[in-house]
Structure 1
Amino acid sequence: MSQTVNKNQAINTIDPATLKQLIDSKTITLIDVREPVEYARERIVGAKLFPLSQFDPNELQQETTNKPLILYCQSSNRSYQAAQKLLASGYTEITHLEGGLNAWKQQGYATQINKNAPIPIMRQVQIVAGSLVFTGTILGAFISPWFLILSGFVGAGLMFAGISGTCMMANLLIKLPYNQINNQ
């Protein structure tokens, strides 16, 4: 499947079965564009980390071999964004894993897992947001209704994250010391 950006450029998708064959034949360079904490927790074996938040097409070009690049992330949204950045920097054709790591695991393919890595950032967001909403509700019910503003503020933030695709809470949590993992 191919999605043309303009006449001379294309972002292609690849299914997990085809990617597995290419990995086994060692004919590609697999790039994980998720964040270091996500990469540390679980990844496709052999993938190199180039997080989208620090994505530099020039650095990628210097660090990778002459093999074709295939990008992936958790669901294929960030890998598509990284592919767009590569096209803007002069690449003519980029491929990314359709459905990302989720699709890879759904097909039953193995991943490298580190159970000692921090929990995924979206679970951290759910824990913090849930705690803030719960606290605001309890304090609003028993102390002062003004505490309900906290629950409303968190709800508005979650709604903004869903609409924009940008979660400010995740951006803050990723900066905490326990989420700081060096690129491996």
Structure 2
Amino acid sequence: MRNIDPCEARRLLDAGAVLVDIRGADEHRRERIPGALCVPLEALHGPLPLPPGVPVVFHCRSGLRTDSHAARLAEAAGDREAWRLEGGLDGWRRAGLPTARAAGAPLELGRQVQLVVGAVVLVGSVLAAMLSPWFLLLTALPGLGLLVAGSTGFCGLARVLARMPWNRARPRAATR
């Protein structure tokens, strides 16, 4: 599977190719290329359910995920022609091509986890330096959480953050 630059990908899409976004659903909601299908990498099992012969262009945010999972994406493409979008969504945007952004969408869940973990470690370290070394225990909690998340794939903090009001889908206003 080869890389394709954004302008050439646009021509392929205009000719009927399908664009598949392999990022998570929360990333896709925040900003996406219009018309892209959201098929998160973790949900990509077996061939894509598309009509035979339809060319496919895969993309992520920066191109790193599509590059590192090229064999899996080629398997999902099956016998179809398939490409990886060079630079991903970032490259598409740099080429001056349109994206759709959700107004007021929260940060991606992974970034929210990183912010909370970083803040807890920073606060715990500052409190330990200024008040008591016992506050170093506060820094152990996110460390333990990261170990569990890395070894099991379960991130309790992400689950908690996903239930926060700013991450819940907002009902759309009725239109007349």
Instruction: State the TM-score, normalizing by the size of structure 1.
Output: 0.70
* 1:124 shift after superposition: 1.2
How is 1:1-184 mapped onto 2 (pairs within 5 angstroms)? 11-23=1-13, 25-58=14-47, 60=48, 62=49, 64-66=50-52, 67-88=54-75, 91=78, 94-151=82-139, 171-172=155-156, 174-175=158-159, 176-178=162-164, 179=167
- Whole-angstrom distance in 1 between the partners of 2:129 and 2:90: 40
- Whole-angstrom distance in 2 between the partners of 1:85 and 1:180: 31
Cα RMSD for the two superposed structures: 3.3
Residues 105-131 of structure 1 show CA distances to partners (whole Å, capped at 9, x for unaligned) of: 111211011023321234313421231
* 1:97 shift after superposition: 0.4
- Whole-angstrom distance in 2 between the partners of 1:143 and 1:127: 23
- Number of corresponding residues: 161
The answer on whether the counterparts of 1:124 and 1:173 sit within 8 Å (CA) in structure 2 is no
Task: Give secondary structure in 2 for the equivalent of 1:57.
Answer: coil
Unaligned runs of 5+ in 2: 170-176
CA gap of 1:109–1:90, structure 2 versus 1, over 3 A, is closer
- Whole-angstrom distance in 2 between the partners of 1:146 and 1:71: 49
Instruction: State the TM-score, normalizing by the size of structure 2.
Output: 0.73
In structure 1, the partner of 2:172 is none
Task: Provide the identity percentage.
Answer: 34
Higher strand share: 1
- Whole-angstrom distance in 2 between the partners of 1:30 and 1:49: 9
- Whole-angstrom distance in 2 between the partners of 1:54 and 1:180: 21
Residues 102-159 of structure 1 show CA distances to partners (whole Å, capped at 9, x for unaligned) of: 111111211011023321234313421231122212321244213235447757988x
